[in-house]
Amino acid sequence: MTRILVSTLTILVATSFVAAGDPPKGFESLFNGKDLASWKSTGNLKVWGADKGVIYCEGGGGGWLMTEKEYGDYELRLEYKMPKGGNSGVGIRSPLKGDPAYQGMELQLIDDEGWPGGLQKWQNTGAIYNVVPPKTIKNMPIGEWNVMKVVAKGRQITVINNGATLVDANLDDYVKEHAKKHPGILRKDGHIGFQSYNKRVEFRNIFLKAL
């Protein structure tokens, strides 16, 4: 009986966690769970969709799906699901024009283990793309949900994936080497977004708390 009750409780907790529009205390939801209101695409909007609490891209060609609002200092929580050979990214402090990987900051999402060909360390999941490599790789198996937390506070950017700290960087340490190619590391605020690159990627439970 105890085992059944524990299993039932686990299911109820998991169900409540994935419910759209029910953010943790102090957080706001950036996604209403049913459509792309408050989001805009820099590419083909038809590549993007929303269904049953999930934002998804069907493949490449959609550019970036960006929030209409801009944000500066915050804690961002989200979950994402990658396909085999998939590639995507989370844009932070990004403008609507230009490549967020350079004009803003892209936090890389990729199938590290199954990507064809080699990857540079700054191309692994959690990296501030082409600027700060992750300290480790901590992915869930392909097809399972990953839990990511991003804290952007002043010049400090922290990326935690599935409980492991991948990046904890002071951007000032990278200005001399990278600011010319990546002026986005100098920005104080901007849009949050997701990248359409090659295959279907899904996002849910997209919550933000201003700091």
Q: Where in the chain are the domains? A: 2-210
What is the rounded distance in angstroms from the CA atom of residue 125 to the CA atom of residue 137? 7
Q: Which fold has domain 2-210?
A: Jelly Rolls (2.60.120)
Residue with tokens 């922290």: 158
Residue-level pLDDT at 21: 53
What is the rounded distance in angstroms from the CA atom of residue 44 to the CA atom of residue 211? 33
Q: How does pLDDT run across 2-43, given as a tens digit for each residue?
A: 444 333 333 333 433 444 558 999 999 999 999 999 999 999
Q: How does pLDDT run across 125-169, given as a tens digit for each residue?
A: 999 999 999 999 999 999 999 999 999 999 999 999 999 999 999
Strand partners, 24: none
Q: Residue 151: CB partners within 8 Å, gap ≥ 6?
A: 74, 75, 76, 157, 158, 211
What are 125's two structure tokens? 């999941």
